[in-house]
Amino acid sequence: MRIAVDALGGDEAPEEIVSGAVAAAKRLPEDEILLVGNEARVSKLLGSGRPENLSLHDAGNAVGMEEEPASALRARPDASVAVAASMVRSGDADAIFSAGNTGATVAAALLRIGRLEGCRRPAIATVLPFSSPVLLLDAGATTMCRPQDLLNFAILGSVFAERYFGIESARVGLINVGEEPGKGDDLAKESHALIRNSGAVRFVGNVEGRDIGSGEADVLVTDGFTGNVVLKTAEGVSREIFSMLRSTMTASAVTKLAAAILRPRLMKMRNHLDPEQYGGSFLLGVKGSVVIGHGNSQARGVENALLGISRAGAGLSDALQQALDSAHAAPAGGGA
């Protein structure tokens, strides 16, 4: 698989991006890593230890974090993320990764690579790192959704989760304010009926906020507004509890001693909850694999994101298109 990496996007670019890309190249001898960015800057960082399956592709600067994505891409068609997207369109790459401006990555993917057929709008699919990890989509690409969008997200999320988590038959839930089918706003009610009647996915029904980490679903579907709020609330609450925990543990010499005993296990727990263990979110609904890293991605996050892209595989895009095609061709009401 050929993965184009935007070497210049992200707060810690290019150093951490290049370092993560090199680490991933070593762990993925079957794949090719194509670093996209200013050749002089990037090659200096690579030095002499460049793995054989890592190559360099010249491009202009990254789109800045504060820039308006569409106009930045129009003004600078050689921006690193745009060049990476063009490589997917031309067939020179199968996937792109960028930790730069999220809007620019989404725009470059939509404008240069294009959507899957039958998919009106894309979704950002993010792993919530609970003890049973769960894929949340849409985490913020499409704030205004229709029921058909949520059905598409259910199909895309299901196929993706099976490849990414290596599971047999992904269970899909709909985020809602109650378990009963009649609960929720109009979008939730209509989406529930549409997904259930489609028979296109293994639908487990509504899932309430308090059960998103309970392991009853592998995939959680919602609109991009709710999904973004869920994701960020989960991050905020987790950060808040760890901050209280830190105060608790540093309160006295005795608590510090107790904390020192627990530290290795607490660090392990914290790492488990760290989004960097996945390193990026997939933009599903576009051709090719498009992965958005965190703005502050470190080498470990970049490496994990590239391993995830390889795990989902070069056939991801075709598999998603096939699933959409067969769901849209099937008569409604034909399933579970």
- Residues contributing to the site for its own copies (CB under 8 A): 130-131, 140, 143-144, 175, 177, 184-186, 188, 208-214, 222-226, 228-245, 248-249, 251, 254-255, 257-259, 261-262, 265-266, 268-269, 272-273
Report which DSSP code applies to 275: G
Cβ-based nearer residue to its own copies, 251 or 336: 251
State how far the Cα of 85 lies from the Cα of 67, in Å rounded to an integer: 18
Cβ-based nearer residue to its own copies, 21 or 234: 234
Shortest gap between Cβ of 212 and its own copies (angstroms)? 6
Shortest gap between Cβ of 51 and its own copies (angstroms)? 36
CA within 13 Å, CB half, 59:
29
State how far the Cα of 63 lies from the Cα of 67, in Å rounded to an integer: 7
Shortest gap between Cβ of 182 and its own copies (angstroms)? 11
Cβ-based nearer residue to its own copies, 242 or 319: 242
Structure tokens belonging to residue 304: 């994990």
Shortest gap between Cβ of 110 and its own copies (angstroms)? 18
The answer to whether 172 and 202 have CB atoms below 8 angstroms apart is: yes
Of the candidates 88, 95, 152, the residue with the CA atom closest to the CA atom of residue 120: 152
Shortest gap between Cβ of 230 and its own copies (angstroms)? 5
Helices (H), the chain: 15-27, 39-46, 69-75, 80-89, 102-108, 147-165, 186-198, 224-249, 253-273, 299-312, 316-329
CB neighbour list of residue 304: distance below 8 Å, 6 or more residues apart: 276, 277, 278, 279, 280
138 prior amide bond cis, ω within 30: yes
In which element (H, E) is residue 127 found? strand 123-128
User: How many Cβ atoms from other residues are within 10 Å of residue 270's Cβ?
Assistant: 13
Shortest gap between Cβ of 279 and its own copies (angstroms)? 18
Shortest gap between Cβ of 240 and its own copies (angstroms)? 4
Cβ-based nearer residue to its own copies, 124 or 312: 124
| Residues facing 202 on adjacent strands | 171
Cβ-based nearer residue to its own copies, 132 or 326: 132
Q: How does strand 134-137 pair with strand 219-221?
A: parallel
Shortest gap between Cβ of 72 and its own copies (angstroms)? 16
Interior angle at CA 294, CA 211 and CA 191, nearest 5: 40
Cβ-based nearer residue to its own copies, 144 or 330: 144
Q: Decide: residue 211, CB within 10 A, 0-12 exposed, 13-18 middle, 19+ buried.
A: middle
Cβ-based nearer residue to its own copies, 214 or 326: 214
Cβ-based nearer residue to its own copies, 209 or 335: 209
Cβ-based nearer residue to its own copies, 69 or 288: 69
Shortest gap between Cβ of 34 and its own copies (angstroms)? 31
